[in-house]
Each structure stands twice: as C-alpha cells, then as structure tokens.
Amino acid sequence: MLSISVNLGLPRVPNLVTSLPGPRAQAIIERDRAVTSPSYTRDYPLVVARGEGCMVEDVDGNVFLDMTAGIAVTNTGHAHPEVVAAIQAQSAQLLHMSGTDFYYEPMVELAEKLAVRAPFPQGAKVFFTNSGAESNEGAIKLARYYTKRSHIVAFLGAFHGRTYGAMSLTGSKAVQRANFGPFVPGVTHIPYGTHASLDYLEKQLFPTILPPEEIAAIVVEAIQGEGGYIVPESGFLPRIRDICDRYGILMVVDEVQSGMGRTGRLFAIEHWGVMPDIITTAKGIASGLPLGAILSRPELMTWPPGAHATTFGGNPVACVAGIATLRLLEDGLITNASQMGELLQAGLTQLHQRFPRLSLPRGKGLMVAVDLLDEEGNLDRHMRDRIIQEAFLRGLLLLGCGKAAIRFCPPLIIDSNQIQIGLDILADILGS
C-alpha cells in the first residue's frame, strides 16, 4: 500500500523566513525581466528552488503549501521518490533516441498501460506528444484525417492550448487570441455545459450553417478547466456522445487538466460513463516531465507512416516517469484525490456559510473551485486576485481560473492536515 505522506525533511508548512519576495527571489525576478518573454502570466513573485510532496521551497528558504501542483501537473507530489528513482535510472541508460524512427521499451510499456486503462470498448492506440497543445493539435489532425471532414465544434470558455490548431479551439480569454488571426478555419464555438447550447447546435446550427455530416469532431473538456472548473449539466456529455453517434462525428475529450486521476477517476469522463473516441492528455501524466498523449479507439488511427510524428514525444525518461506515475495513481492516489476532494469541498462549504462572498464549491476530486462575489452577488475578480496575493504572502499557493474563481488543484498526494492548513489560511484572509 502506498504511503500517502511523503515528507523527507522540510519543516511544517507554511514556513516563511523572509518578507516576500525575499532578496534572492527579487534578484532572479530582475534577471528574468531582462531576458524572458513578457507573455508569461506570473501572478505573484514565487521563485522556486525545491519541491517535495505538497510543499515548495523558494530560493530564500521560505516554504509554501502548494495547492497549484504547477498548474495541475505534479499529481504524485513534487519529486516523488519513486518517480525520481525511475528518472534517474533511465537517464543513466538512455536519454533519447526518438520513438518516431526507432523503438524502445518504456514507450511501448506506457502505451500498453494507457491502452488498458483508456475508457474505450477495445483498448487504445497511443500517440505521444510533449504537451497538451500538441496533443490537441494531433487530435484535430487525426479527426480530420479519419473522417475526411473539416469542421470542428468547440466551446466558449474552453482552453486547449496555444499552438495554432489548439488556439483556434480555445475560447477562454480574448488576450489568448487577440492579434493572432487568422485561425485554423472550420471551428465553431458554442456555449459550454448546458442543454440549451446543444439545442442551439442541433436546432439552429445543423439545419443552417453547419451540416453535421461535415463535422469531424466535437472537442470538449470533461470539466472545463481554465474556463472556471465548470462541471457541465447532467446529461450534457452523454448527449454529445449521442449527437456524435447519430452523425458519425468523433467525440474528442480534452483531459489535459482533468485527467490522470485529478478528479478521483483516471479520466474525468468516466464519472459520466461516456466512451469518447479520442482522449487528449498531458500535464499530470508524467508528474512534471514534458509528456502528453493522444489516446484513440484503435480503429481510428489509420494514418500512415509520416502522417504525424515528433522528435521528442514519448521520450524514454518522460515515459518511465509516466509509468511510475500511473502505478502511484492506481496504488492509492486516485482514491486519495476522491477522499481529499470531498474534505476540501466540505471545508469550503463551511467557509461559504461563514463568508457568503465565497460561493459554494464546485468540481470533482481535487479539481475544485470557488467564485468570489461582491455584495450584490456579482463575480468579483478584484477580490479573487487580492485573495490569491494575500494567500501567497501567508505561504499558500493558489491559482485563479474563470472570471473570478480560485482553483484548488493540489498534488493528489495531499493529506487532510494540509487541506485544513489551506482552509485555515483562506478563512484568516476572508475574516481579515
């Protein structure tokens, strides 16, 4: 049985020993400003030196409780010893050979393990990538290739990545698309998560400007991530499956953020018992190494050699990290995500009762969000931003999502004590 608690020596969290940012952090941020792209979205001045479990230590020795997992990536916790050991052993043996042109076992082994666990009727075929955007990019290509159709339906609020194909599906924030057009043609966005939206698709768009026989894929997040951790209305995802079945459209589910155990199932779509045609994943798949995957029903991957390939995707070091990650997820972390998620939502519900400007929580497993509201009950983005800043100054790392939401996406290894610490810090801020 897996030991959930991995704490090899960092002090109790949080443990702040300087004002923030400390002097070393300030110096690095100055250097960063001079040489890195201004497009990165740093919400607060955290300069990380080390991570362990749910804790990260900055360059000045301040220790933080991490409820971001590096944007939902370090699912097994920072530097899980089993993941690190697998990476170390593989690095000493083979760093790279390119799975596009050659074979090596870690790539096959991870594909075998994912194929067994993919929620398809008969196994899966796997194409490895380096990121979520690249997984979605490849999924669009596969869907168009297989169906010989060009149109794609995506959703407002969706985030699928920043490369041209993935960005063309993204419908989250104007800044992510402004001045980058023209986009990949053939993408139609409709509102996310409601039956009203699917009514609009079926009753208004299909008979007028979007014949369903010309649609290659409907690309949907099982739970909308960047858009605000929005759980769709009951029946929404099964209805998309039904529409796809009726018109020969492929259902592509983006599980880049919601997958790999985060919601208490390996893939969030499993909560609805829906079998998609293609799943895209990345982020948590290798606990922090750059890896992504396109999983498809085996019969869909008909593209010939050369149609799609990548130099680095499925790198052997990333693949062994993926194998160790999957083992740890199935050995207890998925269950832990479910249990800790319930605790977190219960705690946030209590906070909502004390502080009505915090909405009720939503989400599944450890993919949880709350909105901040003003006195009239409207979304209050400024208050959200202020709370995230204040949490940082008190040693709690949080991220925003949606218009005014705080997202909680800690490593899946988090324990009840750490959940309580996070809730207490939030309560202190709201009460101050």
Ligand X SMILES: Cc1ncc(COP(=O)(O)O)c(C=O)c1O
Among 132, 288, 313, 363, binds ligand X (CB under 6 A): 132
Give me the residues paired with residue 153 across strands.
Answer: 188, 218
* Closest residue by beta carbon to ligand X: 132
Q: Is 110 in the site for ligand X (CB under 6 A)?
A: no
- Which CB atom, from 2 or from 72, has the smaller least distance to ligand X? 72
- Which CB atom, from 58 or from 137, has the smaller least distance to ligand X? 137
Q: Is 75 in the site for ligand X (CB under 6 A)?
A: no
Q: Is 137 in the site for ligand X (CB under 6 A)?
A: no
Q: Which of 394, 408, 405, 257 is nearest to 345 (CA)?
A: 408
CA angle 261, 66, 339 (to 5 degrees): 40
- Size of site (CB under 6 A) for ligand X: 15
Q: Is 322 in the site for ligand X (CB under 6 A)?
A: no
The beta strands (E) that lie in 97-144 are given as 125-129
d(CA 260, CA 267): 6
d(CA 281, CA 258): 9
Asked if 352 and 358 count as a contact pair (C-beta separation under 8 A), the reply is yes
d(CA 233, CA 191): 12
3-state secondary structure 49-99: EEEEECEEEECCCCEEEECCHHHHCCCCCECCHHHHHHHHHHHHHCCCCCC
Which region, judged by CB under 6 A, interacts with ligand X, from 37-45, 113-121, 221-229, 266-274? 221-229
Q: How far is the CB of 340 from ligand X (least distance, A)?
A: 21
d(CA 226, CA 367): 11
Q: Is 160 in the site for ligand X (CB under 6 A)?
A: yes
What backbone phi and psi angles, to 5 degrees, belong to 331?
Answer: -85, 5
Q: How far is the CB of 221 from ligand X (least distance, A)?
A: 5
Q: Is 69 in the site for ligand X (CB under 6 A)?
A: no
- Which CB atom, from 352 or from 403, has the smaller least distance to ligand X? 403
Q: Is 380 in the site for ligand X (CB under 6 A)?
A: no
Give me the residues paired with residue 219 across strands.
Answer: 252
Q: Is 260 in the site for ligand X (CB under 6 A)?
A: no
- Which CB atom, from 158 or from 426, has the smaller least distance to ligand X? 158
Among 161, 193, 228, 365, binds ligand X (CB under 6 A): 161
Which region, judged by CB under 6 A, interacts with ligand X, from 50-58, 137-145, 250-258, 400-408? 250-258
Q: How far is the CB of 226 from ligand X (least distance, A)?
A: 5
Per DSSP, 230 falls in state: B
Question: Is 414 exposed, middle or buried, given 0-12, 13-18 or 19+ CB atoms closer than 10 A?
Answer: buried
Of 300-319, binders to ligand X (CB under 6 A) are none
Q: Is 57 in the site for ligand X (CB under 6 A)?
A: no
Among 159, 236, 272, 392, binds ligand X (CB under 6 A): 159
Judged by the rule CB under 6 A, the positions of this chain that interact with ligand X are 71, 131-133, 136, 159-161, 221, 225-226, 254, 256-257, 282
